[in-house]
């Protein structure tokens, strides 16, 4: 049974590896045996994730990448193949939040969120799938959100992009099945990361501990499991989808959210 859940000798690319869910996923994949290419637009944070992996005895590289640029995503994947010889696991985790209602949304906001959260994932999927189909093996994992199920006011750009990624995931899963390439997504509920810290940050960017406690408590109460998520909760689903334990799983959106929404 143990072998089912390892990704030993596999090569993973993780975008958004410099923070939150991406960092936890990169570390978890490494701890489960993979060599990991840590991509992030924040070069310093990607390097920290790489160091955490290497200091723990794993193999990793860090690469500066803006996922909204096709050629940079291509270079990221090329780097994995050059340095580690192949690409087995592609995790499209990088993402940004933008808050505005439909009426407030500017074209520039819409473009920026769709460029990173949708086109960035599309490039990662397309380039990785092309490589993996040649090798007749691979697992692509996209990060969507509870926002695909539960519309919330003020995050329209984000929710539209995530819903589109869910459909991209299913479409690509159908197209890639014959090549033994699996394509799935994880839809996290509320997870405490840099992205969600906006709910309890003061104007100067520092965290208000009382507001943090209030937000975490109220968000946690919405879940049957009575808590919010930690990045490691999501990383567990990523490792599962990457591993042989999920060898018959494709085109699925796994909702890791404490039970907040059930489909
Ligand atoms: N935290 C949550 O509650 C939550 C819930 C649902 C989905 N998600 C999704 O999980 C993913 C990770 O989010 P997180 O909460 O860890 O956020 P985070 O802000 O902690 O991490 C996001 C990372 O993506 C990187 N990034 C941003 N733009 C990039 C770009 N253009 N190119 C490359 N890297 C870029 C950032 O530098 C950062 O390191 C996102 O796709 C997010 O939408 C998060």
In the residue annotation, 158 being an active-site residue is answered as: yes
Between the CA of 165 and the centroid of ligand 1 the distance, in Å, is 14
DSSP state of 177: G
Please state the atom number of ligand 1 nearest to the C-alpha of residue 45. 39
Ligand 1 nearest atom to the CA of residue 67, by list position: 32
Average pLDDT rounded to a whole number, residues 27-46: 98
pTM (2 d.p.): 0.97
Q: Any residues with Cβ below 6 Å from ligand 1, and which?
A: 15-16, 18-22, 40-42, 45, 65-68, 93-96, 116, 120, 143, 145, 188, 190-191, 193-196
pLDDT for 263 equals 81
Q: What is the pLDDT of residue 262?
A: 86
Query: Which whole number is the average pLDDT over 23-35?
Result: 98
Closest ligand 1 atom to residue 20 Cα is 16
48-68 mean pLDDT: 98
From the CA of 142, how far away is ligand 1's center (Å)?
12
What's the CA angle centered on 21, arms 210 and 252, to 5 degrees? 125
Distance 222 CA to ligand 1 centre (A): 22
Residue 208 reports pLDDT greater than 70: yes
Q: Is the pLDDT of residue 95 over 90?
A: yes
Calpha distance 13→35 (Å, rounded): 9
Per-residue model confidence (pLDDT) at position 120: 98
CA distances to 22, 49, 84, 155, 189 from 45, in Å: 11, 6, 21, 26, 24
Domain at 2-191+229-256, CATH class: alpha beta
- Residues contacting residue 175 through CB under 8 Å, at least 6 positions apart: 129
Q: What are phi and psi of 61, to 5 degrees?
A: -130, 155
Higher local confidence (pLDDT), 228 or 205: 228
Nearest residue (by CA) to ligand 1, atom 36, is 16
Domain boundaries, the chain: 2-191+229-256, 193-228
**Alpha carbon separation from 229 to 27, 164, 210, 256 (Å, rounded):** 17, 23, 19, 8
Q: Which atom of ligand 1 is nearest to the CA of 94?
A: 24
State the pLDDT at residue 2.
59
Q: Is the pLDDT of residue 63 over 70?
A: yes
pLDDT at 58: 98
- Alpha carbons 55 and 36: distance in angstroms, whole number: 13
Give 178 Cα–ligand 1 centroid separation in angstroms: 31
Q: How confident is the model at residue 1 (pLDDT cuts 50, 70, 90)?
A: low
């Amino acid at each position: 049974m143990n072998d089912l859940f390892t990704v030993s000798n596999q090569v993973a690319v993780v975008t958004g590896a410099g923070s939150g869910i991406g960092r936890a996923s990169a570390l978890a994949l490494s701890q489960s045996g993979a060599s990991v290419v840590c991509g992030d637009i924040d070069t310093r944070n990607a390097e920290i994730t790489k160091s955490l992996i290497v200091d723990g005895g794993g193999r990793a590289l860090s690469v500066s990448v803006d996922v909204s640029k096709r050629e940079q995503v291509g270079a990221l994947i090329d780097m994995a193949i050059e340095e580690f010889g192949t690409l087995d696991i592609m995790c499209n985790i990088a993402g940004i939040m933008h808050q505005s209602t439909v009426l407030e949304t500017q074209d520039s906001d819409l473009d920026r969120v769709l460029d990173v959260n949708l086109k960035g994932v599309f490039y990662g999927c397309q380039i990785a799938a092309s490589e993996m189909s040649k090798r007749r093996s691979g697992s692509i994992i996209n990060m969507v959100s509870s926002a695909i199920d539960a519309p919330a006011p003020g995050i329209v750009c984000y929710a539209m992009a995530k819903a589109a990624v869910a459909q991209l995931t299913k479409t690509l899963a159908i197209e890639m099945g014959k090549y033994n390439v699996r394509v799935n997504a994880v839809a996290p509920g509320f997870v405490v990361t840099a992205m969600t810290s906006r709910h309890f940050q003061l104007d100067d960017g520092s965290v208000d501990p009382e507001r943090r406690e209030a937000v975490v408590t109220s968000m946690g109460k919405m879940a049957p499991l009575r808590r919010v998520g930690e990045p490691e909760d999501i990383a567990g689903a990523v490792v599962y989808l990457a591993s042989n334990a999920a060898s018959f799983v494709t085109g699925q959106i796994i909702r890791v959210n404490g039970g907040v929404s059930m489909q």
